[in-house]
Amino acid sequence: MNKHIDVISVLWIVSGALGILFAFLIFWFFYGISFIPDVDWQASQILRVVGTWGSGIIAFFSIPEIIAGIGLIKRKEWGRILALVVSFFNLVWFPLGTALGVYSIIILLNDESVKIFNPQAK
């Protein structure tokens, strides 16, 4: 079971890091388009707002994935709970988020996993 938890923790960190990278790409894409010379000033302002908010939202949902992965590596109970919450939110991101979410839920709700994260639990 420890190997499954290690795999899940690495997958959550990688997923969060890719989300942060995607957020930066979205930001720079929209922000870069706003500087095209033939674009009206209203359109450039809208592109900057869309790029800023879009990348902010993606980063906002990616940061807990990295934190959950770190918590799982350290075998903290809060990391298991955060990973379960993040797993439920990622079920809508078909197909990779769904696969990672289902795998995480199955492994982290297992009785053996609960005992690993909380040795006092019966």
pLDDT tens readout for residues 30-57: 998 888 888 888 988 999 999 999 999 9
In a domain, 86, yes or no: yes
> What's the pTM value of the predicted model, to 2 decimals?
0.87
In a domain, 122, yes or no: no
Domain containing 38: what range?
2-117
Which pLDDT belongs to residue 114? 86
Mean pLDDT (whole number) for 73-92:
93
Nearest to 51 by CA among 67, 32, 65: 32
Reported as a pLDDT band with limits 50, 70 and 90, residue 121 is: low
Instruction: Give pLDDT tens digits for 84-118.
Output: 999 999 999 889 889 999 999 999 999 888 888 88
Number of structural domains (the chain) is: 1
In a domain, 97, yes or no: yes
In a domain, 89, yes or no: yes
What is the C-alpha separation between 86 and 34, in angstroms, rounded?
A: 33
What is the C-alpha separation between 60 and 93, in angstroms, rounded?
A: 15
